[in-house]
Structures are given as C-alpha cells and as structure tokens.
Structure 1
Amino acid sequence: MNFLYPSFLFGLLAVAIPIAIHLFNFRRTRKVYFTNVAFLKNVDTSTSSFRRLKHVLILAARTLFVIFLVLAFAQPYIPSQNNRAINTSSGVTSLYLDNSLSMQNESGKNRNLDVATEQIDQILNVLPNTPSFQLLTNDFESRDQFVAGRDKLKDRLTEINLSNTSRSLEAVQRRQLSLLEKYSSSPQNQVFWFSDFQKSTAGELGKIALDSLNQYFLVPVQAEESGNIFIDSLWLATPFVKEMETNELNVRLVNTGSEEIENLPVKLFIDNKQVSSSTITLEGNAAGQLVFNFTVQEKGFQRGRISFEDYPVTFDNEYYFVINAAPVINILHLYAGQPAPYVPGVFGNESVFSIKSYNIANADLAQIKTSDLVVIENLPALDATLRNQVESFVKDGGSVLIFPGAQADISSYSQMLGNLGIRGVQRSSYLPVTAVANTNTYDTSPANVLAPPDMRNPFFESIFENSVQKGTINMPFANPVIEWSNGGTALLKFRNNQPFLSQFTALKGKVYLAASPVDMAYSNFPKHALFVPVLYKVASLSKSQERLSYSFQEPSIAIKVNNTGTDQVYKLKKDKFEIIPPQRKVSNQLIFELPQVSQAASEMPESGYYELALNDTTEYILAFNYDKRESQMDSYNADELKKIFAGKKNVQVYDSVKEGNFADDFKARNIGRNLWKYCLIAALFFLLTEIALIRLL
C-alpha cells in the first residue's frame, strides 16, 4: 500500500491528544460524603471497574478516529499492476466497438454487442471525465471522427446497432491512429478494442504495427459456443433457366459448430412462394449439399430465397438470389453471297433466340457489341474493321462461331484468330477444295468422317438421350477447308483425330471454329441431327452466366447492359432507399461501386433485392447478401491473443469478459485501488462509536 500524500502521516502525532486527555482527566477522583460507609464501598467497587472499561473503549474510539482521519487525508491506495500510468490529462482514449454481424452471437442471455456496450459504459465511469474520448464502430461514420466527453459517448452508445460492414483490425487501428495524431497533444494514448476477434475478418494480427508509445487494451467479447449454420454458395445445374421446365438448384451449407445438426429443414421460395423443401444433416465442422428442383412460370427476373432456422445467429438464416428466367439470347448472323437457310432456321424457331442476319456487304458492325453470339458464315475474307470489332467483342466476353468460306483468305482468318490466341491456322491438306465442289458426294476416309463425340465433355451434357450416349449415333461427313494446331477443346473430331469443331477461350470470351463451310457441297453437317443441338448449346453458353447474388463487401460490380449511351445514370433502389452509386461504362459493361466503398456503409441497410433502374425503368434486379465471412464464428480466444502479442508490454489482453467484471479488473491493473473513502467511513464510524459510548454508558 502506498500514500498519495504521505506528508499527512505526521498528523498521526495527534493520537497523543486523546491519550493525554485519558491520562490526566479520567484519573481525577472526587470525594463523595455518605452516611452508610459499608454500602458506599460496595458501590465504589462495582462502578470503578465498569468506568475503567468505558474509559478504555472511549480512548480506543477517539484514537482510531484520529488515525483513520489522518489516513483519509494521506489517501492510501493499492498500486496498479501496470507500471505505465493511464494518460487521460493530455492523451486521447479511443474505444473501438465491433458492431459487425457476428456480434449477434450471445454470451449468456445477451448479445455480444450488448455486453460490449455495457463494458464500455462501465469503463467510461472508471476513467476520469475528460473531453478526449472517441468511439469508433465498423461504420466509420464521420460523426465518430471527433473527440467528445463521457456523456456524449454514453448517448452515442445507445444508438449503435449491428452493421453489415466488417473491418480488419489493421484498418481500425489506422483509423484510430489518424484521429490520435489529429487531437492528441501527447504521444501516449489509450486504445481499446472491444470485439469478438473473428478470425475470418480480423486479419493477420501478428502483422499489425502497434505504436509502442500507446497502450492497447484488447477485450474479447465472445460466446461460449461459436456454432453457426450458413449458406456458402448456390448454383444452377444449367447455364440458364427456362420457364415451364424443371430446373435444378444446388445449395451448399456449412456447419461451423462442433455438434451435429440432424434433419435441418431448408426451404426454397420463388417470388415469396414456397416451391420446394428438403432436410439435411450436417456433421460438426462440416459442409453438406442439397439439390432443389423447381419450375418457374414466367420469363424475366424471379426473386429466390433459401430459408432455414438457426439460433442465436439469425442474420444469415436467409439467402437471397435472383434468376433471370429464359433470357433472350441476341445472335448476329453475318454471311456472304446468297444466305443459306440453316443457321437462321435453327435460331428462328425458338422465342429464347433473337437473330438478325445481314450480308457482310451492308451489315452494321456496331451491333456486334450488343450481341451475345456472332455467327460468321462462309466469308471469303475478314477485313480489318470486322477483325477489330470481333476481337474487341471476344475480349469483352462475347462468343463467336466461325464457319470459314470455301475459298477463305487464310491470311485474314489467321491474323484475327492469332490475335485471339488460336495458332497454326492454314488451309487443309487432306482434300483439295475443288475435288468436291458443287457435288453432294463425300470422301469417306478417316479424314472426312466425324468420330462420335466424347460424352464426358460437359458441352454435351443434356444434349443426347441415353440411347445416343451408348454409341448408336450416325456421324456426319465433312471436307475440311482449314485446319489448326491442336489447341483449345475439340468438341467434334474427324476419325483421324483432327478437330472439326473446337472451342477456344480468349480472355473473357469464347471462339468456336469449324473446319468446313455451312454448305452441303462440303458437309452434310447442316442437315444432320447434331447440327441443331450443337448450335443451341453454343448459343446457350454464349449468354453470360448472370450472377445469382452479390455480397455487400464486393468493391465493384460489373453488369452487361445493352444501352450504349455514356451519359445515362443508373440508380440502385430498394423500397424507400435510393442512391446513385459511382459508376462508369467500359464497352458494354456497367461498373458501379457499392456504397461502403465511397460512402457510409449504413446506407445499404439490409440484405435482400435491389433494383438497378435507368430513367425509372428497372433494368436489373440484384440480390445482396451479407458477407459470408461474418458467418464463420471461429475467433481468437484470450490465450491466442496473448500468444500473438507476447513480448509487447504496451498490450494488455483480458480474458473473455462477462457482465460486471471487466471494469474492476481494468481498474486494478491500471489505476489501482484508492482506500481514502474506506478510511473516511472508518473515521466516522469510530466518531459515532465514541458518542454512543459517552451517551449510552
């Protein structure tokens, strides 16, 4: 025990005053005259012993009163365990409250967020009331970037709720240091972190550069059981959904808890109507997969939702997604000479396709940008303008199907295909072009007969019936006019293993290259049973697979739009919520940023469906879900934190707090325990004891 003002201990000499009074006053005797001397002796004997005890008790009370009164002025205290004093006079106290969604987990009967809020309120009562407090949350709101007094911070605590934004502790520290540099007149400050220290979002704590002059106080607020169930991902079995047909949705769920979850009911909703349900059993710390079959009744955007019950973490019990049912596939058909009926005949009979056919001599090549698939049929040469447009289209994610002309200018084809990564394009050496021109007869050598397709190739999935898969299909004949190196994926081959139709990936797009023209003089492929399903599959794969859902944490989102105007402004809307996100156009893509990147994250209030509108017309419906990292409840416990920050004397790690014990622990470690109040109470007690002894005895 130490004394704040030890000089007051000289006041203990005042103890001599009651002792002196006792010695020189209580021992004086008085003469009492009485007729019956024998009776007087008996009274004197009994009164004398009682009086002596009374005087001793009064002396003790007076002496102890003086002692404890002097000690109260000397202000004794038990020193703190921390050798570095808390600097609240010139330093700033910055408190970070983690209000991410994972703080919805419960400690006892209260949310972690509520427990942390209560602990901050208590620590504010322990620290001296100065105007140099700062409270920071994950929202990084502008109003939290100033220092304030205790009362204002307590009012602010009542307004804090869960946020859909998570921050790494490195980002939090940078934000706090920025404020400390601005407002602190001392290099020594106090930094508090009240968090569940979630491993998936906290970042690499060992790499955080902590200022050695500041004191850091890490306060884990964690639930005893960290289990949770969430949807990790979902995907469609086919590239796109058709109305009035059975579609398949795959859902992957993860159980982060150690206990097995048996027969968890999971429901699928389309446009708020339950269309399917299933149950799943998830082992501890494991994942499982469900398959839902569903049918949509209409074309266009369909709002989907996966729902289940899991407690206490409920923010991720629903997963939102959007399906664009039967999207229109825009096809641009470019040909030379007289148009052959085969390609328009394939795509003209289905409402899902929108085909425009043009002779290359009068085609508007600007329409290439707004197409999903460009079919180049029998062109003798590819001029520079067409090459540039096609190359740009493919690099932006478009698909091109090329049937070369019989008298193809190999140099122009080779130049464009070479720029797209397809090498070794040359005229075929297997059969001269003139050998079968204007005839309907075909060479049946292995160089001209196609081999059966490889059914293991995902391209042919769902194209053929089971009987076809057993090898009963008759293959077409073709006379190749061009050939190329064995690059890409050969979808169809000749029996000599040379490719007839290959698929190439060029940056974001695809190129499909055929070895023969669409001409019965060179191949019976256009009238073969394979022609229609192969072209259907090429067209369906050319439609960009639209994302089913997005996360709030994505810095930007790119969506293909048909509007080519650069001055058009898109809005993001949900009910009464409406913003104009930062946006730009790159080719046929709209790229926009989510609010938490450029503005306050609280502007995106909740998961659900958002409309992307242009001139008050809804162009797209987007589904947003909370970041799935927040659903992974594994956290750094106190022992792990102590190990990470071992050797750093300016870092204190507290055990996972329960209600009511953190403030006392902090005070004992860093402020010490003042005893002057107890001394003052003791002095008053002994003063009252003296009065009672004098009056009552």
Structure 2
Amino acid sequence: MSFFEPLYIWGLLAIAALIAVHFLRKRKVQRLEFSTLRFFSTSAVRTSRLRNLKKILLFLARALIVIAIVALFAGIHNKDNPLHILHNPGTTVYTWIDPSISMEYVEDDFSLGERATSVLDSVLQIIPSSVLHYHYNDISGEFVLERNFNSDTYRSRFGSSGLEHAVREFKQTADENDILMLISDFQQNTLKQLESVKDILSAQSLLIAVSTAPKDPFNYSVRVHSVEEGESTVYATIYAMGKKLDSGLVTVEIDGMRVGEKNVSVEKDDSVRIAIQISPDLLQNKGKVRLFAEDPFSYDNTDFFSKSEKSNQGVLIIGNTHDNRVIASALKSARNSRWSPIVVKSGSEVTSGDIREAHLIIVNSLDEPSRPLDLLLSNKTFPEKSVLYCLDPLANDLQLLPSARQIVSQHGGQNLSELHDDNGTHPVIPDTTLGLWRGFPKTVSDNARVFRYLTNLEGRALLNTSNNNTLISSFTEPQGRRWVLCATPLGITDHNNLYQTGFYVPLIDRIARYALLSVLQEDDRWYAGVSRMNPFFGEENGAEIYTANGRMLHRWHTQPSVMIEKPGIYTLKQDGEAHKPLVVTYNPEDADFTYDSFDSEGNILFKESEQFISAISELRNNVWSFGIWILLSSLLVAELFLWGKTSTKPTSKK
C-alpha cells in the first residue's frame, strides 16, 4: 500500500483536535445534594454508563472519518501494481504512436493505426483530467502538450518508425518519474530499436509498451526483379506470408493501360516467380506490376519498374583455369551478351577485390582452397553476391571449402551420392514456357549427355535428367544469398559432353542470368522513406526530382543525403543531362509482419492493447477507493446516529 500524495497524511493531526474536544475539555459539573439515592431507579445508572460508551463510539467514528478523508486525498493505492501511477493526479504521461506504414495493416475493419489512436483515446478518458499529457509529433520530432488527442493528426508513412529518436527525446525532456507509453505493432525492427535505447531510461521512469499486433497476420506482395528488353518480359515474384494465396491476378500496366496479366497461386510461406510477356512495341520506359488479391495490407501489392539500359555484369570464374575457359567463351558468345568483364582465376589467386568487382561468382573444378572464397560463402563478406557452384562427383571439391560443404549439406542435399551411366542421360527442361527456358525448341536435348553426376540435389529444380534426377537446382539461404547448384561440372570434363553441344552456350547464359535475377541488387534500389547518399553531393551540377504529374518534388545538390517519401516512378532531371526515370519501391522490411514481444521486467511493461485497457479500467475501479468511500458513508451515518443519541436530553417523569 502506498500514497500518491503522502503530504495529505499530515491531515491525521486532526485526530488530536478530536481528542481534545472529546476528552480534554473540562465539563461543567453541577453538584446537587440528595439525602438519599433510594428513590433513583437502577436504569438511570445504566443510562449514564451507556451515554459514556456512545461518546467513545462517536469519537472513534469521527476519527475514522478523518482517516478515510485523508486516505482519499492522499491517493491510497497498491504499490505492487506499477500501472496505478496512471491514476496519480499529479503524474505526467508522454505518448508515442508508431507512424510506420505497417500500421496500415487492417484487421476486423480497422487498421492498426486506428486501433492505436483508439487505445490512446481510451487511456486519456480513464486517467484523471489533471494528468499532463505530451504526445510525440513525428514531423517536429518533439513532444507537444495536448490534453485531448486528435486522432485526425495521425499519419503513417514509409520508412523507419523513429522510436529510437522518440525515446531519446523523452530522456532529454521528461523528469525522472514521468511515464513513457509506446503504442506500436512492434515489428522485429521496431523492437530492436527499443532494445537498443531502453537502457538509457532512468530507473524511476516507467515505460509501457502497448502492442497492437494482429493475432493471425498474413500478407501477399509482389516484387519486380527485372525487365528484359530483348524478351519483352517482366519478371516478378509473388510472396504469400502466413496464408496460402489461392487465386490472385498479376497485371502489368503501362501508361494506365493493362498490357499483360497472369493468374497465380502461392502456397503458405512460399513464393512463385513469374514472367509476363508483353508486346515489344508496348514496352516503354516505365510501368508497374499489380497484384489483385484479398490482402489486409495493400501497400506492397504494387511495384514499379523501368526498362533499364543494357549494363554489363561482371563474372568471376574460380577453379581450374584450363577447364573453365569454355565457360568464359560461352558467356562471351551468348546472344546480346552483357557479361563483362569475365575473369578466370584459380582458387589460390582469388582476392577480395576480385569478388567485390564481380556480380556473379562461378565455382567450377575448384583446384585449391581460397580464404576470400571461404569468407564469401560463409556470408562473412559480400552476402549480396550470387553463386553458381558446380559439384564434381569424383574430386569431392566440397572438402576444400568447409563453408560450402556446410551450406550445401543444409540446403542443397544431405545425402548426395554419385551416379555413373556409361550411356549417359539427357538434360530435360521442365517447361519451355517459363522465363528461364523460353525460346528453347524442345524440352530434351538429344545430343547432350551426362555420364557422371551427383543425385539427391534439393531445392528448386531448374534442369532435370531423363531418368528423373535433378541436374541443376537453386535455393536461398536465410541470409538472402541465392545459390545455383549443378550436379556435374560445366567446364571441360569427361563427366559430360555439354560443352561440345549447341545446348551449352544458352545453358550457361540462362543459368547465369537466373542466378543474378534470383538476388535483388538492393544497392541499386531506391526505397520509400529511406535516406541514401546524395549522388550529386560535391558535384558541380545538381538535379531536380519531378512527380508523375510534373510537379517538382526536390532539388538535389548540396545535401549529403536525400530521400523520397512514397513509392512511384519519378523523373530525374540532371543539369545539362537527359531526363531519366527514377523508380522508388516499398522497403521489404516495411512489409515484414513478423512480430515479437518481451517479458515485463523492472520499469518496463509490455502489454497487449486489449489487456492494457482492461487493466487500467479495473484500476479506475480501485478496490481501495471504493472500500474507503463505502466506509466513509457508513461512518457518516453512524456519526449522525450517535451524535443525535448523545445530544438528546432525557425528559423528566411527571
């Protein structure tokens, strides 16, 4: 038990006044002499004793009334429940509502942002009106005094939640005993921000984290990978998180006109890569891909693209230089070849600089172990690089690289075994209508044969054999790196005759392009709400950014960093240069509906929104306060009764 205003306890000194009134004042005694008491009845004596008892009870009732009034004014409460401080009339509460775009997730016809504003409105109605309330303004970056929160002022946006800045601002602005209330869905990134700054808070400050996370979240999204001008094809991936997408429609729109579409179905927690082919004369510089589905979060159902100019892609081929020269020749000979530079090195010659300059790493006929390559494959360096790894059934080259051996065993197949066929097996394409193999005349290459390879490859099958084994597969590590595994060498080898056939050049080119398409080149993407280094900082000329309707949005020149707030296709007008499209997409982290929580400890409480409102509502109906009011009412009635009895003079008998 404790008190919000302990100074009021001094009011108990009023009991001393009661003692003085009841017991210390001198009574006027009038002496009457009687010759005998035999004419007094025994009831008169009992009445006198009863009157004295009633006076004592009257004193006790008045003393208890004083104690009850003091307890009410002092704010008696249960100190074991830290939420009781919200009912302290003299407290100060600072509040913050997560403004990130994930709060637009809709559940039960209300967005998480609307639920958060409703929670805050309920809190302000429950706590005493004398409580000072400061709310964090996301635009000014400051806490602003406001008693009645205006939910119309809440706006979500793309980019970071800004929780870290809000906590630091609270630390600088608030007193030690003030309360900070954070209302958010607490995505993993937001919770990480909280974990990074919670230790800066004073031990006397109470932090209340109120979660509005949905109970069973799911989300469908679309992501554009590339636009191939030569094929007039738009490549995209459809993701289904938390729930199967039974039927969805994916469309390609250019200048407001639908130019291609495809129906899609995706299993729960899986993805499907699609290719939508459109007429070459309709493929303009820019457009968008849209997913139509029953989705509680629609902000990642649209992604934008522009037809990028043909750019070279560097390839680093690691292994026996003699065996791998045909791989380099195939890449150079590919139609519309974009592969440049192509570097061939043995394992011992590879440097970190070589890996840094390459977009694609091909490992084939590995001759010697390589420390830079081992660091690459263990995700300690360059996790964005794509890897095409060719396994040799006889050389057991995985023994040279522990990192590759571990990853392949985890994701590419734990029970790899050698298979030797003197007659050879033919490569079989799963489907010539898919983007990877579109244009191949038939699914089976009759003149290509594979004599020795590894079986039981796992992952997504890209190329099979005529005896139903997987020849080439792909998988993605949790860190994001996409691997393409080949069960047989792709250079000069006795294990197959691939390099001697017409199937070889398109095979190498298509697999290499697939490996690059499988990993988004994040460094080239502009994300809405995410700051990037100004490409014109320190340059003589700057640039202007225009929206789709021609309105100038920004002027970039001397700023160290720049940012665009919303996804879309913008126009970059560089001084003295031709106009270029600038594609800004949503950040995948904004649409990551993975939530987490933590156990309440010390001065930090974590509550679900419904649980929190219920808890503080029950505190308003404080058992202590109700009990004291009932006691006070009863004592007042008793005091009136006793006072009337003690003050009534007895009437004489005639």
Amino acid at match of 2:225: W
For residue 329 of structure 1, report the CA deviation from its aligned partner: 8.6
Q: Is the 8 A contact 2:177 2:204 kept in 1?
A: yes
Residue 194 of structure 1: SS of its match in structure 2?
strand
Residue 166 of structure 1: SS of its match in structure 2?
coil
For residue 226 of structure 1, report the CA deviation from its aligned partner: 1.5
Q: 1:329 to 1:116 in 2, by over 3 A?
A: closer
Considering only aligned residues, what root-mean-square deviation do their CA atoms show, in Å?
6.0
Amino acid at match of 2:553: E
Counterpart for residue 606 of structure 2:
653
Give distance in 1, aligned partners of 2:219 and 2:355.
Answer: 43
Q: Is the 8 A contact 1:104 1:112 kept in 2?
A: yes
For residue 117 of structure 1, report the CA deviation from its aligned partner: 1.4
Counterpart for residue 415 of structure 2:
none
Q: Is the 8 A contact 2:183 2:211 kept in 1?
A: yes
1:226 maps onto 2:189 in alignment = no
The unaligned stretches of length 5 or more in structure 1 are 18-62, 331-346, 354-370, 376-391, 400-453, 473-489, 501-528, 585-591, 596-603, 688-697
Q: Deviations over 1:38-70 (max 9, x none)?
A: xxxxxxxxxxxxxxxxxxxxxxxxx99999799
Q: Is the 8 A contact 2:159 2:530 kept in 1?
A: no
Counterpart for residue 286 of structure 2:
302
Give distance in 2, aligned partners of 1:651 and 1:659.
Answer: 14
Counterpart for residue 182 of structure 1:
172
Q: Specify which of 233, 239, 247 is matched with residue 253 of structure 1.
A: 239
Residue 297 of structure 1: SS of its match in structure 2?
helix
Counterpart for residue 149 of structure 2:
154
Q: 1:658 to 1:287 in 2, by over 3 A?
A: farther
1:40-55 correspondence to structure 2 within 5 Å: none
For residue 8 of structure 1, report the CA deviation from its aligned partner: 8.0
Q: 1:218 to 1:565 in 2, by over 3 A?
A: closer
Give distance in 1, aligned partners of 2:283 and 2:273.
Answer: 28
Give distance in 2, aligned partners of 1:67 and 1:285.
Answer: 66
For residue 551 of structure 1, report the CA deviation from its aligned partner: 2.0
For residue 202 of structure 1, report the CA deviation from its aligned partner: 2.5
Whichever of the two has the greater Rg, that structure is 1
For residue 97 of structure 1, report the CA deviation from its aligned partner: 0.8
Counterpart for residue 214 of structure 1:
205
The normalised TM-score by structure 1 is: 0.49
Q: 1:284 to 1:122 in 2, by over 3 A?
A: same
Q: 1:11 to 1:94 in 2, by over 3 A?
A: same
Counterpart for residue 417 of structure 1:
none
1:274 maps onto 2:250 in alignment = no
1:290 maps onto 2:274 in alignment = yes
Q: 1:292 to 1:568 in 2, by over 3 A?
A: same
Q: Is the 8 A contact 1:118 1:659 kept in 2?
A: no
Counterpart for residue 647 of structure 2:
none
Amino acid at match of 2:526: Y
Q: Is the 8 A contact 1:66 1:683 kept in 2?
A: no
Residue 121 of structure 2: SS of its match in structure 1?
helix
Give distance in 1, aligned partners of 2:623 and 2:121.
Answer: 17
Greater relative CO (CA pairs within 8 A, separation 6+): 1
Q: Deviations over 1:502-524 (max 9, x none)?
A: xxxxxxxxxxxxxxxxxxxxxxx
1:566-577 correspondence to structure 2 within 5 Å: 566-575=539-548, 576=551
The normalised TM-score by structure 2 is: 0.52
1:462-541 correspondence to structure 2 within 5 Å: 470-471=446-447
Q: 1:649 to 1:9 in 2, by over 3 A?
A: farther
Q: Is the 8 A contact 2:240 2:268 kept in 1?
A: no
Give distance in 2, aligned partners of 1:287 and 1:271.
Answer: 28
Counterpart for residue 320 of structure 1:
304
Amino acid at match of 2:254: I
Q: Is the 8 A contact 2:76 2:624 kept in 1?
A: no
1:235 maps onto 2:225 in alignment = yes
Give distance in 2, aligned partners of 1:8 and 1:465.
Answer: 102
Give distance in 1, aligned partners of 2:624 and 2:68.
Answer: 19
Residue 192 of structure 1: SS of its match in structure 2?
strand
For residue 652 of structure 1, report the CA deviation from its aligned partner: 2.0
The unaligned stretches of length 5 or more in structure 2 are 23-59, 314-331, 343-352, 361-425, 430-435, 449-488, 641-654
1:550 maps onto 2:535 in alignment = no
Counterpart for residue 20 of structure 1:
none
1:80 maps onto 2:75 in alignment = no
Q: 1:282 to 1:230 in 2, by over 3 A?
A: same
Q: Is the 8 A contact 1:246 1:294 kept in 2?
A: yes
Aligned length: 450
Residue 113 of structure 1: SS of its match in structure 2?
helix
Counterpart for residue 191 of structure 1:
180
Residue 119 of structure 2: SS of its match in structure 1?
helix
Counterpart for residue 121 of structure 1:
121
For residue 127 of structure 1, report the CA deviation from its aligned partner: 5.2
Q: 1:296 to 1:154 in 2, by over 3 A?
A: same
1:48-63 correspondence to structure 2 within 5 Å: none
Percentage of identical aligned residues: 12
Q: 1:623 to 1:256 in 2, by over 3 A?
A: farther
Q: Is the 8 A contact 2:18 2:63 kept in 1?
A: no
Amino acid at match of 1:272: G
Say which is worse superposed, 616-625 or 462-471, in terms of deviation: 462-471
Amino acid at match of 1:625: T
For residue 320 of structure 1, report the CA deviation from its aligned partner: 2.1
Q: Is the 8 A contact 1:9 1:74 kept in 2?
A: no
Residue 657 of structure 1: SS of its match in structure 2?
helix
Q: 1:201 to 1:69 in 2, by over 3 A?
A: closer
Amino acid at match of 1:608: G
For residue 277 of structure 1, report the CA deviation from its aligned partner: 2.3
Give distance in 2, aligned partners of 1:558 and 1:396.
Answer: 22
